[in-house]
Every structure is written in structure tokens, then in C-alpha cells.
């Protein structure tokens, strides 16, 4: 099963297999997505979840208010539904 991720406002879309992270899906589709460590440490991949569901293996290092604002670590967040995300705040 795969899901569609849309980056707004650029309107870039790509498919992500379930069990993959947002970042894995982007890189597999040759989408230029900011990243560095790919292990949840550098925050280069931070993006904002506008709609949809993600899950984590390990809880990301985000404060409650950052989570409430929708910030997600793209290299750690597994895609659980179609998503709309934004790379700017």
C-alpha cells in the first residue's frame, strides 16, 4: 500500500510506501528534501504536517507545543495516510 504526500505550496507530490518515512519516500522519488543526519538528530528535515497521520518508532525530540503546531521529523515519521506537508512555517 502506498500513500501520496503533497508538499505545499509548491504542489509537489510523491508516493510513499507504508512503513517508509516521509524522507525515504521523497528521496526514492528524487525529490530534493532537506536532510542531513537521517536519524532524528539534526532537525534539517523538520516540516509541518498540514493534514494526515504519521507515527514514530521513537518519539521525536519535540516539545508539546511544537507537536501541537504540527512539526514532524521527516526522516523519522512513518507515513500512515495521504499527507499534506509544508517545508516553510
Q: Nearer to ligand FES by C-beta: 58 or 68?
A: 58
Task: Tell me which residue has cell 507530490.
Answer: 13
Q: Interaction with ligand FES in 59-88: which residues (CB under 6 A)?
A: 73, 75
Nearer to ligand FES, 36 or 67 (CB): 36
Specify the stretch interacting with ligand FES by CB under 6 A; choose among 12-20, 24-32, 43-51, 77-85. Answer: 43-51
Task: Answer for the pair 72, 54: CB distance below 8 angstroms, yes or no.
Answer: yes
- In angstroms, the CA 44 to CA 38 distance is 9
Whichever of 3 and 76 has its CB closer to ligand FES, that residue is 76
Which residues, including other chains, have CB under 8 Å from residue 78's CB and lie 6 or more apart?
A: 18, 19, 20, 21, 54, 55, 56, 57
Question: What distance lies between CA 49 and its chain's CA centroid?
Answer: 7
Kindly state whether residue 38 participates in binding ligand FES, applying the rule CB under 6 A: yes
Total site size for ligand FES, rule CB under 6 A: 12
Question: By the criterion CB under 6 A, which residues form the site for ligand FES?
Answer: 35-38, 40-45, 73, 75
Amino acid at each position: 500500500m502506498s500513500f501520496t504526500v503533497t508538499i505545499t505550496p509548491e504542489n509537489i507530490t510523491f508516493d510513499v510506501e507504508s512503513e517508509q518515512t516521509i524522507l525515504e519516500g521523497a528521496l526514492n522519488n528524487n525529490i530534493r528534501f532537506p536532510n542531513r543526519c537521517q536519524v532524528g538528530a539534526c532537525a534539517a528535515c523538520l516540516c509541518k504536517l498540514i493534514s494526515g497521520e504519521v507515527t514514530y518508532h521513537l518519539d521525536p525530540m519535540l516539545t508539546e507545543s511544537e507537536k501541537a503546531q504540527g512539526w514532524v521529523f521527516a526522516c523519522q515519521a512513518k507515513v500512515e495516510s495521504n499527507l499534506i506537508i509544508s517545508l516553510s512555517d
